[in-house]
Amino acid sequence: MPARSVAVVTLGCTRNEVDSEELAGRLAAEGWTLVDDAAQADVAVVNTCGFVEQAKKDSIDALLEANDLKRTGRTQKVVAVGCMAERYGEQLAAELPEADAVLGFDSYADMSGHLRRVLAGERPASHVPRDRRSLLPLAPAARGAAGAGVALPGHQQAARQEPGTPLADVTPPTGPRVVRARLDGRPWAPLKIASGCDRRCAFCAIPMFRGAFVSRRPEEILAEARWLGEQGVREVFLVSENTTSYGKDLGDLRLVDRLLPELAATPGIERVRVSYLQPAEVRPDLLDAMASTPGIAPYFDISFQHASGPLLRRMRRFGDRVSFLGLLDDVRRRLPEAGVRTNVIVGFPGETEDDLAELTAFLEAARLDVVGVFGYSDEDGTEAEGYDGKLDEATIASRVAAVSALVEELTAQRAEERVGTVVEVLVEGVEDPDDPRLVGRAGQQGPDVDGVTYLEDEHGGMPSLRPGELVQARVVASEGVDLVAVPLVGTVDRV
């Protein structure tokens, strides 16, 4: 077959980024040329997000933009994959005929074949959605053998191909194989440790289209971490739908505690960041492991969602303002300098003024570094979609604006509290060529959605540092949630 080119366009979260890089690795192994610009590709594969209304809109816009390239660029075909394609399948195909194919997760193993058939003029049957929770046993311990035939994007399942198949030789024939291609040159990379979720939060549709919770085995995670280290990655960002559940289907909930030191000792990897902790599942042992293991970022991404006990029960969650503040105290007793981020939902059905006051009281006391504020919207198929007590859009928008303004003030104050402290910064590069500043992230700052740290020398100039270098720096100022820091002499960790 003649060489064909493909661009993978990624929407949504870091979990989707892992899936895109695995897809890219599969395609590269089967002879496809990977290009960054969709206008220069024969096929544009759009990895969609189906989480909330705005993300779905962004995904549709990206598909339409890619379709426009058929008139102005090299692009011949546009294919939708990812969460929105998995979640809506046939409906998306019917409402968006601009997409030449809508493929679900089960298509990933033969993505090359699907794309070649699409280029040949075929229009494959669109994905038929189903509740992916039904594909695996209800009991987590029974999922190991049963999961062999279930598609789990980002789990490197293609690494088990038999010798002689195209994917078998993507890495050396001895030892674990990694089917992944880096799509950017960043010095950090997400690393998927699990997929799916067993929780039944009333507002969330993710378990329906991502399926039941499945942990990756430690040896697979460590093999991929070693590969990332060989690619120049200095920080791995552990991602899943629920990291605090890791290991429960492998018979050991403390497995992550032992995995962290091994990851931190991986050649080339200097920092490991943990994401998405469920407050009701955070164990003291996990906090101990995160706080005491050298190389683990002092970063706690805890999904509180609200702070009113009664409203959280209505959300099918646990906790309240007092227990959440107690958890934060437990974190800070171990790591006083810890960074903490969370998301909250405002305007959930039945939310009263008292509930809202409980949330704002929590935010004022919690000293959080970053808070994502989301207004509630109905999600297809969720329990909350059928709830009474819905608030009108104007009320939700007003509450979101008020909480967002409060959060902006509080997180700026939290950043200001860090002035005078020493932080470890991973240098990422120069931001804005028109007004160049060297930018990186302190250990307390997660990628993409949190603040950044601007690095300056003692005279306000730009230090001579390269992306991927780790440096100890003293915080000298704050700009909103962002920090400004001066590297300490002799602390640069050269790559």
Say which residues have a Cβ less than 8 Å from residue 294's Cβ, sequence separation at least 6: 264
10 pLDDT band (50/70/90 cuts)?
very high
CB 408 within 8 Å of CB 380: no
Burial of 246 (0-12, 13-18, 19+ CB in 10 A): buried
Summarised one tens digit per residue, pLDDT across range 380-422 is 999 999 999 999 999 999 999 999 999 999 999 999 999 999 9
Residue 197 confidence (pLDDT) above 80 = yes
Summarised one tens digit per residue, pLDDT across range 411-453 is 999 999 999 999 999 999 998 888 899 999 999 999 988 899 9
DSSP state of 44: E
Q: Give 154-168 as a DSSP string.
A: TS-GGGGPPTTSGGG
Task: Write out the binding residues.
Answer: 13, 49, 83, 197, 201, 204
**Quick one: pLDDT at residue 451?**
92
CB 387 within 8 Å of CB 202: yes
Residue 491 confidence (pLDDT) above 80 = no
Give the pLDDT mean for 321-346: 98
- Which pTM value belongs to this model? 0.92
Going from the C-alpha of 299 to that of each of 100, 290, 302, 471, the distances in angstroms are 42, 9, 9, 17
**Quick one: pLDDT at residue 493?**
52
**Quick one: pLDDT at residue 494?**
40
Averaged confidence pLDDT in the chain: 91
- The strand pair at 271-274 and 214-215 is best described as unpaired
Task: Write out the binding residues for [4Fe-4S] cluster.
Answer: 13, 49, 83, 197, 201, 204
**Quick one: pLDDT at residue 492?**
53
Rounded distance between C-alpha atoms, residue 349 and residue 132, angstroms: 27
Task: Quickly list H helices, 89-168.
Answer: 90-95, 111-119, 143-146
Between 134-143, 345-354, 481-490, the lowest mean confidence (pLDDT) is in 134-143
* % of the chain beyond a pLDDT of 70: 94
Provide the edge-to-edge strand list for the sheet that holds 271-274: 188-192, 235-239, 271-274
Q: Give 176-204 as a DSSP string.
A: --------S--SEEEEE-EE------TT-
CB 207 within 8 Å of CB 133: yes
Please state the separation of Cα 196 from the chain's center in Å.
13
Residue 50 confidence (pLDDT) above 50 = yes
- The strand pair at 188-192 and 339-346 is best described as unpaired
Going from the C-alpha of 86 to that of each of 49, 61, 116, 242, 277, the distances in angstroms are 10, 17, 20, 20, 25
**Quick one: pLDDT at residue 2?**
61
**Quick one: pLDDT at residue 211?**
93
DSSP state of 82: H
**Quick one: pLDDT at residue 159?**
42
**Quick one: pLDDT at residue 414?**
98
